Amino acid sequence: MHDGYKVGDYWDGKNEVEIRGRCHRCHVPESMEHILLECEETGQREIWDLAETMWKSREGTPEWKQMSVGAILSCGLTKWCDKEGRPDKGLSRFYRILVSEASYTIWKLRNERVIQHGGEIGHTQKTVKNRFISAINERLTFDRLQTNRRRWGKKAISVGLVLGTWRGSLHDEQNLPENWIRESGVLVGILPEE
């Protein structure tokens, strides 16, 4: 927002790095919209597809929203309701995690490709998938750790909120205990590729 990110014409006139202003794959000036939603380079489409798959893995979730820059920027404000019309904090939080982690992972992959490799070397589909799943699993682990009241005191997240956030999206969930917060090895339902 308001040219806060170094993309597109920010790089104009900066000699050796001026090439960072244009997408090497699509040959258009880069913008956040292009990077996050339009670029044909391996990464963004695969990540949004994975996010949608994770969203749909939860039984009874509303239809996945078509992504736009506005939807990404406002994901923290998005509120979902349950079937009775009551606010569903867990589902809303799950959506915020998926959208924010997807957009951040796309941004990091783009920066690696453009800044570290001069736009010449892209990522494989396997790498993209594994990076996004790893990011979501890290969030899951962080959530589990943040429920520790002895360590975090009043700043701890409620166990109920964490269970509600991840309900229906975990690997082998039917075999997990009802309160799996202290279980090690809990992962999201889509596993990384070997």
The answer to whether residue 107 sits within a structural domain is yes
Distances (CA, A) of 129 to 45, 144, 175: 11, 23, 25
Tokens found for residue 59:
């039984």
Per the structure, the count of domains in the chain is 1
pLDDT at 121: 75
The per-residue pLDDT for 19 is: 67
Q: Is residue 156 part of a domain?
A: yes
Does residue 1 register a pLDDT over 70? no
- pLDDT tens profile 168-182: 999 999 999 999 999
Is this prediction's pTM over 0.75?
A: yes
Residue 190 lies in a domain: no
Give residue-wise pLDDT tens across range 10-48.
Answer: 666 677 666 677 778 888 888 888 989 999 988 899 999
Rounded CA gap, 47 and 74, in Å?
A: 19
The proportion of the chain whose per-residue pLDDT surpasses 90, expressed as a percent, equals 57
Task: Please give the backbone phi and psi of residue 170, each rounded to the nearest 5 degrees, phi first.
Answer: -100, 150
Q: 11 with 23: CB under 8 angstroms?
A: no
- Does the pLDDT of residue 9 top 80, yes or no? no
Nearest to 122 by CA among 190, 26, 37: 26
Q: What is the pLDDT of residues 43-85, one digit of tens each?
A: 899 999 999 999 999 888 889 988 999 999 999 999 999 888 9
Residue 189: what pLDDT?
Answer: 86
Question: What pLDDT score was predicted for residue 167?
Answer: 93
Domain-located, residue 69: yes
pLDDT at 91: 95
Residue 166 located in a structural domain = yes
pLDDT of residue 70: 92
Residue 80 resides in a domain: yes
The percentage of residues in the chain with a pLDDT greater than 70, rounded to a whole number, is 90
- Tell me what pLDDT residue 184 has: 83
Does residue 191 sit within a domain? no
Phi, psi of 76 (to 5 degrees): -70, -15
Q: Please report which confidence band the pLDDT of residue 156 belongs to, taking 50, 70 and 90 as the band edges.
A: very high
User: What's the confidence (pLDDT) of residue 8?
Assistant: 67
Whole-number Å distance between alpha carbons of 17 and 136? 32
54 in any annotated domain? yes
The larger pLDDT score, comparing residue 105 to residue 43, is at 105
Domain around 22: 8-175
Name the packing angle between helices 44-57 and 89-111 (round to 10°).
160
